[in-house]
Amino acid sequence: MHNKTIRIWAWLHKWSSLVCTVFMLLLCITGLPLIFHHEIGHLLGTEVEAPPMPADTPRISLDKVLQIARAQHPDRVVQFVSQPEDSEDLWFVTMTPTPAPTDDFRSVAVDARTGAVLAQPRFDEGFMWVMFKLHVDLFAGLAGKLFLGLMGLLLLVAVVSGVVLYAPFMRKLDFGTVRRDRRPRLKWLDLHNLLGIVTLVWLFVVGATGMINTWADLMIKYWQYDKLSVLLAPYQGQATVPVGERASVQRSLDVALRAAPDMRLSFVAFPGTAFSSPHHTTFFLRGNQPLTSRLLQPVLVDARTAEVTASPHLPWYLTGLLVSQPLHFGDYGGMPMKILWALLDIASIIVLGSGLYLWLRKGQNSGQHLPKTPQAEQPAEGIA
């Protein structure tokens, strides 16, 4: 590779790495407990589970569930109702002061068979919530998400430029060589390069999916503007359907499931909320297979008549978003994949930390007179 080209790639790698390293370290550190959020929830006693009962135990209607939940917070309105992916014995009812998006919400966990209130978990406090908020938006809302998305883009530039620089370097040394007999900075440089190549694909996948996830709010708003606005044109100018004039939610759910018989409920968005319209109860259904269980199919049911208005397929960009979210946290393959994700996360922390160390050490050594290094070492200096 031409020296000028190497210098350009080295400049790209250096500055893209330096700008994003601290934030990527933060994301790797906070992402580590999030990989095991269910397991940590069990240890902390914050994970809600329905008590064991015979499989054929009858379930109460969703209308009764909502009545029970509203009784806990009569001054609030129901925004969402959801079920865990691995259990139909629980309902989580999310309630807020108004239908508008807000961080002020309360959750009520109701047993789907007995109607008992099992817990009122707080998802806006505690260790895992702090880790989640730091990882998702730095407590800065949409601006924080977009900023982290930019850092993810810089990570991808750093990964690609690192590969370009590593290729000529590896022509002079065997793969995996760590020159332990040289000064500490060279040993850390070799370790940085080795772990960087080992974690290359994972870093690229996690960086790319993380960047896509930061665009989620904008993608949903665009979908609502581009697709849903056409479907909702007949309702233009009509006010949000009052609670007292709405049809049975259980009947609406049954109608939605009949419209997509091979799917199961993921969550319900009520009229006027961020994922629905002022005139519909929107049921988001998921498939029964490992992959399709991550994909959602919205079914819009008229809140007054309980008739299906539309069941639009999600566009490609929302499908990509739904696939990228579980892949980002290693949620596809059970515990073995989570352990693999955790090990690669730790290796990435070492890569990022060593890169920062190499830059700081380079600055400390810049004024010292060092002997001329052999040709085999020169390309490696450019990688850091």
In this prediction, what percent of the chain has a pLDDT beyond 70? 85
Q: Estimate to the nearest angstrom the gap between the alpha carbon of 189 and the chain centroid.
A: 32
Gap between the Cα atoms of 254 and 247, Å rounded: 12
Among 236, 326, 229, 275, which Cα is nearest to 78's? 275
- CA-to-CA separations, 199 to 71, 134, 330, 333, 343, in angstroms, rounded: 51, 23, 15, 19, 10
Read off the pLDDT of residues 202-245 as tens digits, 9 standing for 90 and up. 889 999 999 999 999 999 889 888 888 888 888 887 888 888 89
Gap between the Cα atoms of 171 and 279, Å rounded: 65
Bigger pLDDT: 326 vs 289: 326
CA angle centred on 89, ends 87 and 95, rounded to 5°: 95
Gap between the Cα atoms of 27 and 208, Å rounded: 13
Contact 202, 155 (CB under 8 A): no
How far the first Cα of the chain sits from its last, in Å, is 18
Q: What residue type is 283 in one-letter code? A: F
Gap between the Cα atoms of 11 and 16, Å rounded: 8
- Please name the residues in contact with 244: beta carbons below 8 A apart, sequence gap of 6 or more: none
Here the tokens at position 313 are 């397929």
Read off the pLDDT of residues 109-145 as tens digits, 9 standing for 90 and up. 999 999 999 999 888 888 999 999 999 999 999 999 9
Report helix, strand or coil for 76: coil
Read off the pLDDT of residues 55-98 as tens digits, 9 standing for 90 and up. 889 999 999 999 999 999 999 999 999 998 888 899 999 999 98
- CA-to-CA separations, 206 to 152, 328, 380, in angstroms, rounded: 9, 5, 26
Confirm whether pTM is higher than 0.85: no
Among 101, 141, 318, 295, which Cα is nearest to 222's? 318
Assign 375 a pLDDT band (cuts: 50, 70, 90). very low
Contact 243, 78 (CB under 8 A): no
Give me the residue label for tokens 């989640």.
132
Tell me, what's the pLDDT at 123? 84
The one-character DSSP state at 263 is: -
With a cut of 80, say whether residue 196 has pLDDT above it.
no
Assign 6 a pLDDT band (cuts: 50, 70, 90). confident
Assign 376 a pLDDT band (cuts: 50, 70, 90). very low
Among 26, 45, 383, which Cα is nearest to 191's? 383
Assign 380 a pLDDT band (cuts: 50, 70, 90). very low
Determine phi and psi for 279, rounding to 5 degrees: -120, 0
